[in-house]
Amino acid sequence: MNAKQIRELYPITKKRAYLFSGGIAPVSIRHENAIKKHMDWLSEDPDDLYVNGLDSDASDCRRLFAQLTGSNEDEVAIVESTSAGCNIAFDLIEPRAGGNVVFDDFSYPSSVFPWHLPPHEGLTKRFVHAREDGIIHLEDFEQNIDEKTVAVCISHVTPIEGFKQDIKEVAKIAHSKGAVVIIDGAQSAGAMEIDLHDTGVDFFSTTAMKWLLGAAGIAFLYVAKRHHDKKPTRAGYSSAHSFDIHDFRLKDNAQRFELGMPNLLGLAFTKPGLQILSETDMKMVEEHNLDLSGYGIAGMKERGIDVITLDDPQYRLGVISAKYEDAGGLWKHLHDQGVDTYYFGDLFRVDPHIFNNRDDVDLLLKGIDSYIK
């Protein structure tokens, strides 16, 4: 499918300019049908759902996510959130006396806070700082990562600045020193072409509810095959080969990091979004999102908006972030005019996706004009 065909699947595009895919995905016609089918199943024959439906959506979602991210299905675990997936990865890191963990200035709180808890509270926390050009340079990672670094934990695309990291190069630097790389992919998966095997990262955690066009309460954790021998700190029936309580053997794939029943309604909602993306070319999705974000950045700057996301496509993707003193007032004005964005404090954010077009961005810019006036 192309962008125009995907747009036709989303009823909201006929009423509003929805520009917040980095927060929560809207509903398509396919999602509506999938939820209706699931609810009908629960209403009319939940026993059949339990016997025949539990594994199908889960395995389909694992398979589709793997296809979209250049990984294998046995490297994908279904978890409940990006943070949950990251925490599973953190728990697999052996504490090391005198060790350190490396972040950057743009790291998400959920990637930093857990490292202050046992058993990792003794690790030194190092932050790679952005330079005056707004870029976190690879040379600065090299200076902060050493033989005592146990992990590098960063976002692929940062939610506050909209900065895109070169995770492949960061992984090369980290691995040369013996450190593992854990990536928060909440603002990249579904918005760009990704080949996790090519990047070389060890763990990649992301939510379904944003660019993957899925549901809250469903997330995916990629665990590179070389880590499948690591033991989780928790276990449930989904983790084990057998249901026999006298025969505990962990599965030999990423499912050893799953516990039990997943969010069935969430999986039913998530699968259509993954299918929509799988029916298109992710390189096209990436180029489309870069075009719309570039167009939005240029238009916002022309209007005097302090955009902090970089112009260079090498360092951005779909998230456009700006500083605006009355971000809440601007958000409300736009929302009342049928343009959906996001604000937090003085942060104003716009996240166009594959179902958006330049007309949506023009409505945003027109709304900014009327607010300023």
Average pLDDT over residues 329-341: 98
Asked if 83 and 203 sit in the same domain, the reply is yes
The pLDDT score that the predictor gives to residue 58 is 93
Asked if 358 and 241 sit in the same domain, the reply is no
Asked if 167 and 138 sit in the same domain, the reply is yes
DSSP structural state of residue 79 = E
Among candidate residues 217, 246, 278, the one where a domain is terminated = 278
Q: Are residues 131 and 137 in contact, defined by beta-carbon separation less than 8 angstroms?
A: yes
pLDDT in tens, 11-68: 999 999 999 999 999 999 999 999 999 999 999 999 988 887 777 899 999 999 999 9
Q: Give domain status of residue 205, yes or no.
A: yes
Asked if 183 and 324 sit in the same domain, the reply is no
Instruction: Output the average pLDDT for the chain.
Output: 96
What are residue 182's DSSP bridge partners?
A: 153, 203
Say how far apart CA 58 and CA 259 lie, in whole Å.
Answer: 13
The pLDDT score that the predictor gives to residue 7 is 98
Percent of the chain clearing pLDDT 90 (strictly above): 96
Residue 304: give its domain's CATH number.
3.90.1150.10
Q: Give domain status of residue 222, yes or no.
A: yes
Q: What angle do CA 32, 34, 40 make, to 5 degrees?
A: 100
What are residue 152's DSSP bridge partners?
A: 102, 181
DSSP SS3 for 329:
helix
Band of the pLDDT at 147, cuts 50, 70, 90?
very high
The pLDDT score that the predictor gives to residue 164 is 98
Asked if 294 and 248 sit in the same domain, the reply is no
The pLDDT score that the predictor gives to residue 64 is 98
Which of 327, 296, 294, 299 has its CA nearest to residue 311? 294
Q: Give domain status of residue 164, yes or no.
A: yes
Task: Give the residue carrying structure tokens 């695309």.
Answer: 157
Which structural domain range is residue 83 located in? Answer: 44-278
The pLDDT score that the predictor gives to residue 52 is 77
Distances (CA, A) of 218 to 65, 88, 212, 255, 264: 12, 15, 11, 15, 9
Return the amino acid letter for 201.
V
The pLDDT score that the predictor gives to residue 48 is 87
Say how far apart CA 42 and CA 48 lie, in whole Å.
Answer: 9
CB atoms within 10 A of CB 110: 19
Asked if 51 and 198 sit in the same domain, the reply is yes
Alpha-helix runs per DSSP H in the chain: 3-8, 29-44, 46-48, 54-69, 82-91, 109-112, 138-144, 167-176, 196-199, 264-278, 282-302, 327-336, 358-372
pLDDT in tens, 197-242: 999 999 999 999 999 999 999 999 999 999 999 999 999 999 999 9
The pLDDT score that the predictor gives to residue 166 is 98
The pLDDT score that the predictor gives to residue 69 is 98
Asked if 220 and 103 sit in the same domain, the reply is yes
pLDDT in tens, 290-330: 999 999 999 999 999 999 999 999 999 999 999 999 999 99
Percent of the chain clearing pLDDT 70 (strictly above): 100
Band of the pLDDT at 289, cuts 50, 70, 90?
very high
Average pLDDT over residues 251-275: 96
The pLDDT score that the predictor gives to residue 128 is 97
Whole-prediction pTM value? 0.96
pLDDT in tens, 85-106: 999 999 999 989 999 999 999 9
Asked if 143 and 285 sit in the same domain, the reply is no
Q: How many domains does the chain have?
A: 2
Return the amino acid letter for 182.
I
Asked if 293 and 258 sit in the same domain, the reply is no
Among candidate residues 257, 278, 299, the one where a domain is terminated = 278
DSSP SS3 for 312:
coil
